[in-house]
Structure 1
Amino acid sequence: MNFAVKIVNQKSNRMLNICDAELVGRTVRQSDLDITITKSYYGDRIIDEKEAESLLRTSSIINMVGKKTIDLSIKIGIGSAKGVKEIEGVPFLIVFKF
């Protein structure tokens, strides 16, 4: 299982943008909302599940897209299924840990 990630460090916070690798480049639509899952936002590099788990645990702000990504985060106790929103069948979840 591969994930696309981009890490942004700001002062004492680490923001992790992470998605299922196969979603990079896809555009999802809902009503008048279009969201493109871009390489510049999510795809600095491709990582495996072990590294994804480590980054999920150590990041304070996490933007997640995709079933595999969100399933992993919930499995390790980060985030909740209650916060997941779907656009065109693609799940999105944002988590803040402070």
Structure 2
Amino acid sequence: MKIYVKVYRVQGEVLVAACDEELLGKTFREGELKLEVKERFYKGELREVEELESLLEEATIANLTGERCVKKAIELGYVDEKRVLYIQGVPHAQMAKLL
């Protein structure tokens, strides 16, 4: 399985939005929390999860949804596993680099 990745470049910021392929277009709810994996935000290129490393190196902000994306970001040291939010069992993490 692959991941969808979309890169936004705005005013010096590089935002990487990535989600596991099978989550695209789905909505998850748990209590007051709602996670929408919208195509217009996440659907960019279909890539191998290993490619996330070079993208996160360049990113100043990242929005990551799904087991593969979040696990890779944790392995690379970009996300603290204690800070991962789970909605209906789906992991979601955000990252911001302070420059």
Pairwise same-fold verdict (TM > 0.5): yes
Map 1:75-86 to 2 at 5 A.
Answer: 75-86=75-86
Rounded to whole Å, the distance in 2 between the matches of 1:50 and 1:71 is 11
- 1:58 equivalent in alignment to 2:79: no
- Aligned match of 1:9: 9
Shift of 1:45: 1.6
TM-score if structure 1 supplies the norm length?
0.91
Rounded to whole Å, the distance in 2 between the matches of 1:77 and 1:32 is 29
- Ranges in structure 1 where 5+ consecutive residues have no aligned partner: none
Amino acid at match of 1:28: F
RMSD: 1.3
- 1:40 equivalent in alignment to 2:40: yes
- Ranges in structure 2 where 5+ consecutive residues have no aligned partner: none
Rounded to whole Å, the distance in 2 between the matches of 1:93 and 1:50 is 17
TM-score if structure 2 supplies the norm length?
0.90
- 1:72 equivalent in alignment to 2:75: no
Rounded to whole Å, the distance in 2 between the matches of 1:26 and 1:89 is 13
Q: Percent same amino acid among aligned pairs? A: 30
